[in-house]
Amino acid sequence: MHENKRVLVTGGAGFLGSHLCERLLEQGCDVLCVDNFYTGTKHNVQHLLNHPMFELMRHDVTFPLYVEVDEIYNLACPASPIHYQRDPVQTTKTSVHGAINMLGLAKRVNAKILQASTSEVYGDPAVHPQTEEYWGNVNPVGARSCYDEGKRCAETLFFDYHRQHNLQIKVARIFNTYGPRMHVNDGRVVSNFIVQALKGEDITIYGDGSQTRSFCYVDDLIDGLMRLMARGPEFTGPVNIGNTGEMTVRQLAETVIEIIGSSSKLIYKPLPEDDPLQRQPDISLAKKELDWCPSTNVQAGLRNTISYFESVLDRG
């Protein structure tokens, strides 16, 4: 790594992006954080603003960006159903135009580029757990398609730039991730359950709570992304990055209540459209190629996340 590698992080003021910026600065990189603040917030990177190697730029990746960098992490895209369904056309544009613009930039400056893809490319999987070879079972015309198909198209573009222009690409398929700096109102189970339990409100479970999720703590995930970026050009991915510890949504709710010592009760509501019933990564490829495996257990990860939400709610 040469002195002060210049790294661009799109979506850098978001939940994952802000953690990534922090880790890159710790490694001595020069970090350009780009965000349009649609779901990211300045609060997430407030503590980095005085760092001499950190720069924050308000920019929307659906427009070209002209900067000089060595590496690009393309994380820009609203990632929770509430946010990405609010403006579905913009969500698709962010994934597709954003990928085209960032790939164009990478090609121009000869940078290595990583795409933050998602387990949603597998749709409601007919294969369990999901390996990278599985092509997915995705509804192209549903309410979630703007995100699922946008990310699938971004992967297509990455591989076409790789084949056609010999660009150095990396594609990470991120499974459910949680931790400090998650959006309070992002509608995801971890943040929903924690906020409801801290407020002593009933905890809302959609469906009967038997659907499963596998939750990866943010520090583990960032470690996986950075290992993927550091890996030689012969390994492009796509590679699953997530935790294999599958648990039901009901178990998660009960764990949160127990850690907080909350008096919240569980209430059940109908399951939303195209909500996958099972989600669990097969991470054999990440273990083999990146020597990566998540190390944070759910109890420890939830405790850190809960204390973060306590401070946010106190700030009001």
Task: Tell me: pLDDT of 2 over 60.
Answer: no
Q: What are the angstrom distances between the C-alpha of 199 and each of 192, 216, 254, 263? A: 11, 24, 15, 10
Check residue 162 and give its pLDDT: 98
pTM here is 0.95
Total Cβ atoms within 10 A of residue 34: 26
Per the listing, tokens 């520090």 go with 219
Residue indicated by tokens 């398929």: 173
Instruction: Name the catalytic one among 147, 161, 178, 217.
Output: 147
pLDDT tier, 230 (very low <50, low <70, confident <90, very high otherwise): very high
Domain spanning 6-181+216-243+280-295, CATH architecture: 3-Layer(aba) Sandwich (3.40)
User: How would residue 3 be classed by pLDDT, with cut points 50, 70 and 90?
Assistant: low
In this model, does residue 229 exceed pLDDT 80?
A: yes
Res 99: pLDDT = 98
Q: What sections of 39-144 are H helices per DSSP? A: 81-84, 88-109
pLDDT in tens, 126-135: 998 999 999 9
User: How distant, in Å, are the alpha carbons of 29, 181, 260, 266, 268 from that of 249?
Assistant: 38, 21, 17, 11, 11
Q: What distance in Å separates the CA atoms of residue 83 and residue 256, rounded to the nearest whole number?
A: 24
List, in sequence order, every beta strand (DSSP E) within the chain. 6-10, 30-35, 54-58, 71-74, 112-118, 169-174, 177-178, 203-206, 212-214, 216-217, 239-241, 246-248, 266-269
Whole-number Å distance between alpha carbons of 198 and 303: 12
The count of other CB atoms within 10 Å of the CB of residue 232 is: 7
> Using an 8 Å Cβ cutoff, are 88 and 103 in contact?
no
Residues 6+ apart with CB under 8 A from 115: 74, 99, 154, 155, 158, 169, 170, 171, 172
**DSSP code at position 47:** G
Residues 59-85, mean pLDDT to the nearest whole number: 93
Q: State yes or no: is 147 an active-site residue.
A: yes
3-class SS shares of the chain: helix, strand, coil, % to 5: 40, 20, 40
End-to-end CA distance of the chain: 42
Nearest alpha carbon to residue 221 among 3, 4, 44, 17: 17
pLDDT confidence tier of residue 174, bands split at 50, 70 and 90: very high
What pLDDT, on a 0 to 100 scale, did the predictor assign at position 1? Answer: 44
CB atoms within 10 A of CB 254: 16
Q: Residue 183 in contact with residue 80, Cβ under 8 Å?
A: yes
Sequence-ordered alpha helix ranges (H) in 166-217: 189-198
Taking only the tens place, the pLDDT of each residue in 184-217 is 888 889 999 999 999 999 999 999 999 888 999 9
pLDDT recorded at residue 41? 94
Alpha helices in 209-275 (DSSP H): 218-230, 249-260
Q: Percent of the chain having pLDDT more than 70? A: 97
Across the range 241-269, mean pLDDT stands at 95
pLDDT range class, residue 274, cuts 50, 70, 90: low
